Amino acid sequence: MEKLGTLYLPFILLSLTQIQHALAACSITSITSPSASTLDVKWNSYPGATNYFLDLRVVNSISIAPVVVTLPVSSTQRLIQGLRPGSVYQVQLKVFQFYYVMCTNTQIATTVPATSQITYSKAISSTSIRFQWSGVTGADKYLLVVDGLSNGDRYNYSFTTLTGQVDGLTPAKSYNCYVYSSNQAGLGTSSTTKTITTLVQPPAGVAVVATGRSSARVTWQTVNKVLLYQVSITDSNKPSVPVLKNTTTTYMDVSNLQPCSTYIVGVSSVNAFLEPGEPTNVSHITSSEYCWKRGNEIK
């Protein structure tokens, strides 16, 4: 009996070791992407391990070389660098006991996209700004952020396209604007910040009073800090050929109007960069009495 116990002792010890390893299966606990070219991999410590091995490969690609790292047994975390932005990786952890693979664990992870940049930005009215930005590989959507410099307002918009427009802004105010690319792994690095100022709001109280058969006076209320106004006069019969005139006053006399015609008269505020905002439009019909008389004469 004593001999039998000695004979089976190595087998019993080996079985206990196998049970211990089976109960403590190796496991990747988390994978995050702090930047477009890195993955931060964390795993559980494995009893009896002598070293760890990480193998990262781009999914569905045999032309891109894998990234492999051998790590000491004291490690349970590694930031892997030099990866491709916006790419899906197969991440495999191997646990070695000397030359033997004791355990493996595989997970799928994605790097965040590269940085997108705003390529076009323009205020198109006193409350709206239009944008375009560059597309990047692996991005599912883009997050546009617009921060008010003076009022502290922040607007966040998500787009799946490469263009966007932000409305509802404050007239004649400056905004810091930047964009993030995004995918399931998170946000990429923010773009370079663009500072854009909305246009000046149009004047209120625009009115047109006829001063003759072919003339009229346009008046409006003063807009604070505006030194120049633009008046547009558009014949409804020739909508593509408006007449534009600038003035530093809050009125303008217009002449050479065609009788029996309808005009759209618009007044815009012009900013310091000589950019007119959207107009306040009113309709003006010339010489209605003359038209009535001429209509009766024709009859």
Please report, for the domain that includes residue 261, its CATH number: 2.60.40.10
Residue 2 inside a domain? The answer is no
Query: What local confidence, expressed as pLDDT, does residue 87 receive?
Result: 97
249 lies in the same domain as 268: yes
Q: Domain boundary residue among 175, 197, 219? A: 197
Number of domains in the chain: 3
292 lies in the same domain as 216: yes
In whole angstroms, give the CA distance from residue 103 to residue 52: 10
Residue 285 has pLDDT above 80, yes or no: yes
Mean pLDDT of 21-32: 79
118-123 and 129-133 strand pairing: antiparallel
Residue 95 inside a domain? The answer is yes
97 lies in the same domain as 122: no
Q: Domain boundary residue among 137, 166, 197? A: 197
In whole angstroms, give the CA distance from residue 205 to residue 208: 10
Residue 4 inside a domain? The answer is no
184 lies in the same domain as 243: no
Q: What is the pLDDT of residues 90-141, one digit of tens each?
A: 999 999 999 999 999 999 999 999 999 999 999 999 999 999 999 999 999 9
Q: What is the pLDDT of residues 234-258, one digit of tens each?
A: 998 888 889 999 999 999 999 999 9
Domain limits for position 30: 22-110
Residue 14 inside a domain? The answer is no
Query: What local confidence, expressed as pLDDT, does residue 115 receive?
Result: 98
28 lies in the same domain as 103: yes
Q: Residues 70, 74, 79, 82: what is their CA dihedral angle, to the nearest 10 degrees?
A: -20
Residue 12 inside a domain? The answer is no
Residue 183 inside a domain? The answer is yes
Residue 8 inside a domain? The answer is no
Whether residue 279 contacts residue 266, with contact meaning beta carbons closer than 8 Å, is answered with: yes
218 burial via Cβ count (<10 Å: 0-12, 13-18, 19+): buried
| Placement of tokens 């032309």 in the chain | 63
26 lies in the same domain as 103: yes
Residue 262 has pLDDT above 80, yes or no: yes
Residue 10 inside a domain? The answer is no
Q: What is the DSSP letter of 99?
A: T
Query: What local confidence, expressed as pLDDT, does residue 289 receive?
Result: 64
Q: What is the pLDDT of residues 162-196, one digit of tens each?
A: 999 999 999 999 999 999 999 999 999 999 999 99
Instruction: pLDDT band for 290, please (50, 70, 90 cuts).
Output: low
For 30-34, the CB contacts below 8 A with 24+ separation are 31/91, 31/107, 31/109, 32/185, 32/186, 33/109, 33/110, 33/111, 33/112, 33/185, 33/186, 34/79
In whole angstroms, give the CA distance from residue 189 to residue 178: 10
Tokens read off for 145: 């952020």
Q: Domain boundary residue among 171, 197, 223? A: 197
